A = this chain, B = another copy of it.
Amino acid sequence: MNQALLKAREHTAIAELKSEPKSTYRATVTALEAQLYEFIPVLDHGFIRVMDYMGDDGAIVQAARVSYGQGTKHARDDSGLIRYLMRHWHSTPFEMCEIKFHVKLPVFVARQWIRHRTANVNEYSARYSILDREFYIPSPENLATQSSTNGQGRGAVLAGDEAERVLDILKDDSARCYDHYEAMLSQESQQGLARELARMNLPMNIYTQWYWKVDLHNLMHFLRLRADAHAQMEIRVYAEAICELVKAWVPATYAAFEDYRLNAAQISGPGMVALRRMLAGEEVTQEGSGMSKGEWREFQALLEG
C-alpha cells in the first residue's frame, strides 16, 4: 500500500477515534489520554502507540490496601506505599494495571519480543494477508562490528566502504525478495502461490505489526531486560519509547521502577561480604573475595557505576 495513502488513512482513523470524548467513571489518566492512538515513530518504518489502558497509580494502591487491609490504612502516602511494594517484590498490585499497544516492528525484533510469554498478542497474519513492502534498513551509525568481548553484542561502528556494502546488500536483497514474493503471489497469467508459502521468501527485516497487551508488572519485567544497555538496540528503542509512556501513565510507579529496578544493582552473597569488609576499611582483592575473575570484574563495574 502507498505510504502517503496509509498515513492519510491512519490519521483519519485517529481523528475518528478521538472526535468525541466519552464519559467514564473508570480511573483515567489525562497525560496518557493525550497520547492515546498517537503514532510514536520507532526505527525507520516502525511505530508504537497506546490503544487502551486500565488503571493508574491509584489502582495499585487500592489493591495493596485490600491485601494489607487495616494494616495500611493510616500508614503512609501512596507514593511511599508504591515504593515499598516495589522494594519488597510485592508484584500482584502492579498486575492490576493493564495496557494495550499497537506496534509495528521488524520480524527479527518480534521474535525476541514474543519470548515474553505473559502477554496477549494478535499479530498480522501473512497467511491471510499480503505484507507491505517495508524493511528495516539500519542507519549507518547503527551498523556495528561484532563485539570482541561480548558474544552477543556490538562493537565499533562500521567504517567507510564496508558500511556502504552492507547497506547495499540489505536494500538489494530486501527488494529482490519482495519482488519475487509478489511475483509468486501474482495471479496474472499464472495460478499464484498460496500466501502461507510465498511469505517464506521474505527476509527477517520485513516489518510486521501486532496488538500487544500486558499487565504493568510483566511490562516492567520486559522493560528491565529490554531497556537495558545489553539489549539489542533495535528492541531497546521500543522499550525506551514504552518507558516514556509508562512514566506518563503511572508516574509514582515509574519513579520507583527507576530506583529499584532500572538503576538498582543485584549484589551477590560473596559480593556483600566483600562490600562489608571494604566499608570497614579493609582492602579486598579478587583472590580474597571468593569471586571468579568474571564475577569480580562485574562487581567492580557495579561499584564504579
Contact among B18, B27, B144, B191 with A158 in the assembled complex (CB-CB below 8 Å): B191
Give residues in A with beta carbon < 8 Å to B. Answer: 17-18, 21-28, 33, 36-37, 52-55, 59, 62-64, 66-72, 80, 83-84, 87, 89, 92-93, 95-96, 98, 100, 102, 106-108, 110-111, 114-115, 117-118, 120-125, 127-130, 136, 138, 142-147, 151-156, 158-159, 162, 165-166, 169-170, 173, 176-177, 180, 183-185, 187, 190-197, 199-205, 209-211, 213, 215, 225, 232, 258-260, 262-273, 275-276, 278-279, 292, 294-295, 298, 302-305
Nearest residue in B to A156 (C-beta to C-beta)? B191
- Specify which chain B residues have a CB less than 8 angstroms from the CB of A267 in the assembled complex: 264-267
Q: Which 6 A-B pairs have the closest CB atoms?
A: A69-B129, A263-B269, A71-B128, A95-B120, A200-B205, A22-B28
Nearest residue in B to A157 (C-beta to C-beta)? B191
- Specify which chain B residues have a CB less than 8 angstroms from the CB of A114 in the assembled complex: 111, 114-115
Q: Copy number in this complex?
A: 4
Q: Which residue, A27, A106, A201, has most C-beta atoms of chain B within 10 A?
A: A201
- Specify which chain B residues have a CB less than 8 angstroms from the CB of A53 in the assembled complex: 26, 54
- Specify which chain B residues have a CB less than 8 angstroms from the CB of A258 in the assembled complex: 269
- Smallest Cβ distance from A180 to chain B, in angstroms? 5
Given contacts A87-B266, A127-B151, 8 further A-B contacts (CB under 8 A): A54-B98, A62-B211, A146-B192, A156-B191, A204-B204, A259-B270, A264-B267, A272-B302
Nearest residue in B to A22 (C-beta to C-beta)? B28
Chain A interface mostly: mixed
- Smallest Cβ distance from A206 to chain B, in angstroms? 9
- Specify which chain B residues have a CB less than 8 angstroms from the CB of A92 in the assembled complex: 115, 120-122
- Specify which chain B residues have a CB less than 8 angstroms from the CB of A199 in the assembled complex: 108, 204
Assembly CA distance A121 to B159 (angstroms): 37
Contact among B22, B67, B265 with A26 in the assembled complex (CB-CB below 8 Å): B22
- Smallest Cβ distance from A263 to chain B, in angstroms? 3
- Specify which chain B residues have a CB less than 8 angstroms from the CB of A98 in the assembled complex: 54, 98, 213
B71 near A129: Cβ-Cβ < 8 Å:
yes
